[in-house]
Structure 1
Amino acid sequence: MTDNSRAATLPSAPSPRRPARSRTGVWVLLLSVAILVVLLTSAATGPLGTTPLEAARVILGHLLPGMPWMSDGSLTGAQDQAVWMFRLPRTLLAGIAGASLALAGALLQTNVRNPLAEPYILGVSAGAGVGAVLAIVAGSTAVAGLSLNAAAFVGAIGATFLVYVLARQGGIIAPSRLILAGVALGSLLAAITNFLTLTTSAQNVYSVLFFLLGSVSAATYAQLLLPAGALVLVGTYALLRSRALNAMLAGDETATALGVNVPALRRTLLLATALLTATTVAVCGGIGFVGLVVPHVIRMIVGADHRRLIPLVMLGGAFFLMLTDLLARSVAQPAEIPLGILTSVVGAPFFLWIMRTSGARMGGTR
């Protein structure tokens, strides 16, 4: 495999011709700068006029108390509140969600050795949808007093447990069974969600649809804690286990010969993928295709070595969804487009292109 491989499939093993560390470092720097630019642009975008420089001064003023511009009258209270309380939390949540979904996609594709796999194929999003819709339609009493976000999280975890039980056979999780169980259960849960939506009052339909299509418009700093914690935990684990992940690309037998406990690693990766997806869906709703598009783009740039792939996938996912959120707020002002619509506009054609060119089968082989 060369650095600019056109193949969208997962390789059978990491190529010995890996990109130089310096090249990976350049991409880390470029993506980090791009994220900073998008963050400041997003923090400055809104009905209340603010420049990126003013947005940067507001953010620094809160991070570094005592800055003179916070009290000299150069910034208004309205600008301070708009940037710090409303725009920055949603941009940060979009970045965390994008990084989480992209990482989940990369881990799932390695786990099942299928280039078409992405987080929502496990039915996690559909499970979250059922929990959230129940909370909206029937009230919190129908979900044991849980809030909408908590009900969505419980629904996502419950769906993951069911997929695990259905995919497990003889103590082993077969990749093909995992995908098929996720697709079947996801369809069933989506049908339940649609039924609840059709039978509820008209005033609840908008809330249901906005959650199912994904949004970070109501983000608060408190909502950042759970998905950020999950991202740090899973990201650290993935980096520490990057060599084992590389071995899995060569097949179960080869990985076992190299000392990898494949069944245990596959279970852990399933749990990690579910945790990332559940914590993201619980606060952002359904945002598809991020976990499909971003890992493939990064893999084409730096190859399949997880030691380089994982950090860039997280940065790439953060940049992609932060930019998508900025577009969602800007292209149809004063209306706001749900994130899931824009990610699908990009992701669906990309998915079809991968399916057309990869020749992958659902069993994870070629």
Structure 2
Amino acid sequence: MRDQVLPKKGRGAVSNAAGRFEPLARHAVDDGWHLGEDDQALPKLRTEVTVERAKSALTRNSSPDIAFDRSLNPYRGCEHGCVYCYARPSHAYMNLSPGLDFESKLFVKKDLAQVLEAELRKPSYKPAPVMLGANTDPYQPLEREHRVTRDLLEVLHRFRHPVMIVTKSHAITRDVDILADMAKDNLVSVGISLCTLDGELARTLEPRAATPARRLDAMRILAEAGVPVTVLAAPLVPTLNDHELEAILAASAKAGASGAKYILLRLPREVKDLFREWLQTHVPHKAKRVMSLLRQSRGGQLYVSDFNARMTGTGVHAQLLGRRFDLACKKNGLIPAKLGACILSTKAFQRPLDMGDQFILF
């Protein structure tokens, strides 16, 4: 008989299932031994950080359903611990679990800013908006100590290079000085992820991320500084938080957001089992209904990679969600956006003089 797996305080994933490349799989089994309710008998799951050298800075993509072709990712893994995170499967490439390992065994690219500057200085480089944090959050708690995101922004600021940022952290307000100055030349837009206004739900879905109230406050601070803000109502989970769509957009517009986007929950690779396990642990009475509606919105599957449908789904439920989104945007004066409420400019791009460079005389 398989034992009930209990969630760890402050963590999103319930288990640490092996990744898809591992030769062995682990299963929790009731062997008759019980430690009781004293969780102090078990060692705490501590965050481990490994510093790695970056071989390159910019990651390229050709996906037609996103508004950028290059991205910067200062960290691997994410301490926010969002159970639904589509980036979790990437930890399997490190021979680590997309489960608890993803949120507790982290990697920091300490020299990424220097590598980025070298790439931007190449005569062959053509500027285009870069997404900062396309994979994991660039303002996760790790940033307070390592400041890699701040270093990257300082490079982009000096080069007057356009950047889009996605985060769910209030910590982005630390960099409002740089962001406000870049906004003057239409060089920056920020997407704040907000999937629920319910603090209790957020605590289990996104255990180490900023509270919904703090994210709304971050929108307000950025908007008042002149930084364009898009609210990302993502992910929306049928019967769990999709009923909040209108309230999320209204609260975000009131806080100063000018654009909006929504994404129906995506469950690629190992994420589907991790999320199913989360449902059974936290909302078992809704588990079957949630998974049923997701299948109805994915052509009978839990995940499809089709660029035309992977973000929003298909079918009656998905179509209704899209219609509600359009009406709520219109009501609140929000611009429906891909991943930013504005088109960023490349006209101000420049390569600042480096030590040893000579001024051009003519």
* Alignment TM class, shorter chain as reference: under 0.3
Q: From the two aligned structures, give the one with the greater strand fraction.
A: 2
Greater RCO, CA 8 A, separation 6+ = 1
Task: Calculate the TM-score normalised by the size of structure 1.
Answer: 0.26
Q: From the two aligned structures, give the one with the greater helix fraction.
A: 1
Task: Calculate the TM-score normalised by the size of structure 2.
Answer: 0.26
